[in-house]
Amino acid sequence: MFQHRDHMGIENGHLTIGGVDAVALAEKFGTPLYVTDESRIRANYRRFKGAFPDADIYYAAKANYNLAILNILALEGAGADVFSDGELFCALKAEISPDKILFNGNSKTDAELEMAVREGIRVSVDSLDELQTLLKIAEVQRTEVEIAFRVNPDVSPKTHPKIATGLKTSKFGIPHAEVISVYKEALALRNIKPVGIHCHIGSQILDVAPFADATRKMMELVDQVNRIGVELKFVDLGGGLGVPYKPGEKAPSPSELADAILPVFEECTKSLGIAPKLILEPGRYIVADSTILLARVNTVKRAYKNFVGIDAGFNLLLRPVMYDAYHNIVIANKADQSPSDTYSVVGPICESGDVLASDRRLPKVEKGDLIAILDVGAYGFSMSSQYNGRPRCAETLVCDGRAKIIRKSESYDDLLRRQVIPSRLK
Ligand code: LLP
């Protein structure tokens, strides 16, 4: 059940994370509750960095931008891929060095670009239109902006269509065939300096072949871009390395990814006699398996199926509903018991699609049991909402056998925060 997850275990029939009893955590902090193991994040980061010792790792903040987690990664030496002004704000708060941040995005506001330029952040430009906007901003701020272009390499990453970003039909990036002309255009501009090239082909990719394919295409472009006089300081190949969510699922390790792409990268840079920095932007790999979501069973209903109603729904974990994503379920207070029946685990949201796990073999489930949903550290809390008038739950961080709150649970007041009632309605 805990395949690959050596930070989790079972003690006295209870699930543990980072050596801490999940049942005790739920009693102390209440449910629903996100619980993250700090040492797992550090270990994942070090494993990734270890496979790419000469590369810079820009953690994809969108996966989980809780400040404590960004602080851990800043202390580990990570840079950041940010996709909004809010993520940039958080990355800077975590004291991630501005020269190790790349501002990405396919539809940035002028205000976001102004912020990036003011803070001296490099921008990955997604269109010619954006280049023009950025130029004006750089002129007004009387500064030079270092940029990359986000390339659409047109590779199929064999992942869920909603998270495949490098297909030619995708909204992201500059079409492969137009890349050289946009670099030529940028080279001619006074306040813009093209110094990088960027792609990201998709997420939860379980095969290294698409990465190798994208690297080959990118290195062909590196060759051409180099020829027209661009002095590349970096080549950013994005994130996307998948993790095993399902029992028995196999995912490539960072070293397997390195074996697939480094020879292509190194051969090309060597033959061109250039030494750009390689940048990678993993999000999921760093944080996904560090975190569980604990939820209490409100009710067990025997209807057309056996429904286990818990106190967390797609308000707190959208992935199963949005991508048909599979997350392992453990009954945290019966973690040593064998399955005895088949259950579907559903949330409290007023939508029939609010199903977090379908037809799972579980030990006998009863009201009051504690459900742990595994591998929710990436795109879990960061995609949560207050839908159905549900304040968001707390997040905790486990370190050295102790848990600390890293985000307090929201209150009813938080549901109303920032709302303003026109006086005629009072
Ligand atoms: N770089 C860029 C430019 C990205 O857009 C992304 C993710 C990453 C890096 C990090 O990718 P990762 O290593 O985490 O796969 N919400 C979806 C995933 C969306 C990914 C968006 N972009 C999910 O829950 O599966």
Give me ligand 1 centre to Cα 63, in Å: 7
Q: Is the pLDDT of residue 367 over 70?
A: yes
Band (161; pLDDT cuts 50, 70, 90): confident
**Atom nearest to 242 CA in ligand 1:** 15
Q: Which tokens go with 175? A: 């079409």
Q: Is the pLDDT of residue 385 over 90?
A: yes
Average pLDDT for 116-128: 97
For a mutational test of ligand 1's pocket, the pick from 203, 237, 385, i.e. the residue with the most ligand atoms closer than 8 A to its C-beta, is 203
The pLDDT of residue 159 is 79
- DSSP for 289-322, please give it: GGEEEEEEEEEEEESSSEEEEES--TTT--HHHH
Residue whose entry in the numeric block shows the structure tokens 């997350």? 327
Cβ 81 under 6 angstroms from ligand 1? yes
Going by alpha carbons, the residue nearest to atom 24 of ligand 1 is: 379
Residue 199's φ and ψ, nearest 5 degrees, are -145, 165
- How close is the Cα of 227 to the center of ligand 1, in Å? 31
**Alpha-carbon distance 287 to 289, whole Å?**
6
User: What is the pLDDT confidence band of residue 396, given thresholds at 50, 70 and 90?
Assistant: very high
Q: Which ligand 1 atom is nearest residue 281's CA?
A: 9
- With a 6 Å cutoff on the Cβ, whether 105 touches ligand 1 is no
The answer on pLDDT for 1 being more than 70 is: no
Helix (H, G, I), strand (E, B) or coil at 245: coil
pLDDT category at 235 given cuts 50, 70, 90 is very high
How far away, in angstroms, is 80 Cα from ligand 1 center? 13
Atom of ligand 1 nearest to the CA of 318: 24
pLDDT at residue number 221: 97
Atom of ligand 1 nearest to the CA of 319: 24
Question: Which residue in the block uniquely carries the two structure tokens 């994208």?
Answer: 214
- For residue 18, is pLDDT > 80? yes
* Lowest-confidence region among 147-156, 285-294, 351-360: 147-156
Give the distance (Å) from ligand 1 centre to CA of residue 319.
Answer: 12
User: Which one of 47, 57, 62 would you pick to mutate in the ligand 1 pocket, going by the greatest count of ligand atoms within 8 A of its CB?
Assistant: 62
Chain mean pLDDT for the chain: 96
Check residue 238 and give its pLDDT.
98
Q: What is the DSSP letter of 96?
A: -
CB of 240 sitting under 6 A from ligand 1: yes
Minimum CA distance residue for ligand 1 atom 23: 379
Q: What value does the mean pLDDT take over residues 394-403?
A: 97
Q: What's the mean pLDDT in 179-183?
A: 97
Average confidence (pLDDT) over 280-293: 98
Ligand 1 center from residue 202 Cα (angstroms): 7
Structural tokens at position 107: 């539809």
- In the chain, the percentage of residues whose pLDDT exceeds 90 is 94
Nearest-angstrom CA–CA distance, 341 and 305: 11
HEC secondary structure over 11-78: ECCEEEECCEEHHHHHHHHCCCEEEEEHHHHHHHHHHHHHHCCCCEEEEEHHHCCCHHHHHHHHHHCC
Q: Give the C-alpha separation, 109 to 216, whole Å.
A: 32
**40 pLDDT above the threshold of 80:** yes
Is a pLDDT exceeding 80 seen at residue 328?
Answer: yes
Q: Is 350 a catalytic residue?
A: yes
